[in-house]
Amino acid sequence: MTVRIRADLDSLPGYVPGKNIPGAIKLASNEVSLGPLPSVVMAIAEAAERINRYPDNGSVELVARLAAKLGVDEDQVAVGCGSVTLCQQLIQATCTAQDEVLFPWRSFEAYPIVAHVVGATQVRVPLTAEHALDVDAMIAAVTPSTRLVFVCTPNNPTGTALRRAELERLIDAVPDDVVVVVDEAYREFVADPEVPDGVEVAKARWARGRDNVAVLRTFSKAYGLAGLRVGYLVAAAPVAAAVRKVFVPFGVNALAQVAALSSLDAEAELLARCTGIVAERGRVRAALIAAGYDVPETEANFVWLPLGERTAAFNEHCLAHKVVVRAFVGDGARVTIGTPDENDAFLAAALSFPR
């Protein structure tokens, strides 16, 4: 081939989505098994008649609804094609090849990919022995070259979350010119009152003149819209404006915008589902611990099994039982909390795995 492609892309791993296997129960992608509400499906169907028109490039109505819901100005909200796209836009808006992006590891798989694409240096900070974000190590890893810090809480794939004092200490220790991104994709599943609302933490910092805290959320998880890809950023107005400058035009399609608005209308019903998922999460974790598994506390819609070198064997065992989990070979397996029947099928597989 004579076309010149960036040589560094040869070392870039591709994002690995959860498997889909016909006839198997999929617990690999942190999706909500129950899907969107009928009212949301109806709104999507009605909007489908207008897909010959371009979507609203600025997602104006959705931005207004989110700003009102969160108690911020509209110029502090940016909408994107899933929160992962906003991760990339944040790096594009803040970093060059001379800068560093810092994040815990293991954490969301997209962080190293989007950092690499922009050319920024990745700084991976190992988790604690309890599979949680190591606040002290993250603070110590910040250098004059650091431009952005991702804080995934609850953390994907371990489910562990930072309590208020830990999150505030981390934010306060980072220099004002470094953007701290609190990634809250799983915020709606948090039950621990000591795990703070990232937007409220950010608002308190903005009120003190610290504009470097931003928050990411998504409609993919609790709202059941993973297939439509819509997420949002809440940040100080200058940060949100910079993110919008590197936005791909019409990146949030018309059906996604309608579905998100309709989901906000049905928010109470959707969040009631989260309560059921949290209850199932507790049941599944208790059963696994009783069976001898090490399962860290989780505030997300999944559990983490740190199986180390046995992860691949566990994955194959689950597949043989028609259950698809997310295996991070050499580290552990992440298992989405599904319906009670789906969870029972997973537990039957897990409890029959030789330990």
147 occurs within a structural domain: yes
Give the confidence band of 9 by pLDDT, cuts at 50, 70, 90: low
11 occurs within a structural domain: no
User: pLDDT digit string (tens) for 308-340?
Assistant: 999 999 999 999 999 999 999 999 999 999 999
What CATH number should be reported for the domain holding residue 162? Answer: 3.40.640.10
**What pLDDT shows up at residue 12?**
57
Query: Which of the pair, 34 or 351, is modelled with greater confidence?
Result: 351
Q: Are residues 126 and 233 in the same domain?
A: yes
**What pLDDT shows up at residue 340?**
98
User: pLDDT digit string (tens) for 250-303?
Assistant: 999 999 999 999 999 999 999 899 999 999 999 999 999 999 999 999 999 999
Q: Is 136 helix (H, G, I), strand (E, B) or coil?
A: helix
Identify the CA nearest to 288 among candidates 335, 324, 338.
Answer: 335
Compute the distance between CA of residue 160 and CA of residue 328 in angstroms, rounded to an integer.
17
2 occurs within a structural domain: no
Share the mean pLDDT of the chain: 94
Give the confidence band of 36 by pLDDT, cuts at 50, 70, 90: confident
Q: Are residues 176 and 308 in the same domain?
A: no
**What pLDDT shows up at residue 133?**
98
Taking residue 22's Cβ as centre, other Cβ atoms within 10 Å add up to 5
- Is a pLDDT exceeding 90 seen at residue 21? no
- Is a pLDDT exceeding 90 seen at residue 213? yes
Q: Are residues 346 and 288 in the same domain?
A: yes
Give the confidence band of 355 by pLDDT, cuts at 50, 70, 90: confident
6 occurs within a structural domain: no
Return the structure tokens found at 86. Answer: 């906003």
9 occurs within a structural domain: no
3 occurs within a structural domain: no
What CATH number should be reported for the domain holding residue 329? Answer: 3.90.1150.10
**Domain end (from 237, 265, 293):** 265
Output the CA angle 167-164-111, nearest 5 degrees: 35
Give the confidence band of 7 by pLDDT, cuts at 50, 70, 90: low
**What pLDDT shows up at residue 201?**
98
Give the confidence band of 245 by pLDDT, cuts at 50, 70, 90: very high
Q: Are residues 272 and 257 in the same domain?
A: no
Q: Are residues 24 and 52 in the same domain?
A: no
Range of the domain at 119: 38-265
Q: Are residues 191 and 329 in the same domain?
A: no
Burial of 284 (0-12, 13-18, 19+ CB in 10 A): buried
Q: Are residues 187 and 146 in the same domain?
A: yes
Q: Are residues 96 and 26 in the same domain?
A: no
| Sign of the alpha-carbon dihedral angle for 199, 76, 155, 106 | negative
Give the confidence band of 346 by pLDDT, cuts at 50, 70, 90: very high
**What pLDDT shows up at residue 79?**
98
**What pLDDT shows up at residue 23?**
80
169 occurs within a structural domain: yes
| Residue 349 parent element (H or E) | helix 340-351
Q: Are residues 272 and 224 in the same domain?
A: no
Return the structure tokens found at 75. Answer: 């110029």
User: pLDDT digit string (tens) for 109-143?
Assistant: 999 999 998 899 999 999 999 999 999 999 999 99
Backbone angles phi, psi at 231, to 5 degrees: -135, 175
- Is a pLDDT exceeding 60 seen at residue 15? no
Give the confidence band of 224 by pLDDT, cuts at 50, 70, 90: very high
**What pLDDT shows up at residue 2?**
73
**Domain end (from 218, 250, 265):** 265
Q: Are residues 64 and 146 in the same domain?
A: yes
Distance set, CA 151 to CA 31, 52, 91, 125, 296 (Å): 21, 39, 14, 11, 18
Q: Are residues 317 and 336 in the same domain?
A: yes
Q: How many domains is the chain partitioned into structurally? A: 2
Give the confidence band of 8 by pLDDT, cuts at 50, 70, 90: low
Q: Are residues 130 and 254 in the same domain?
A: yes
- Is a pLDDT exceeding 80 seen at residue 5? no
**Domain end (from 265, 295, 316):** 265
1 occurs within a structural domain: no
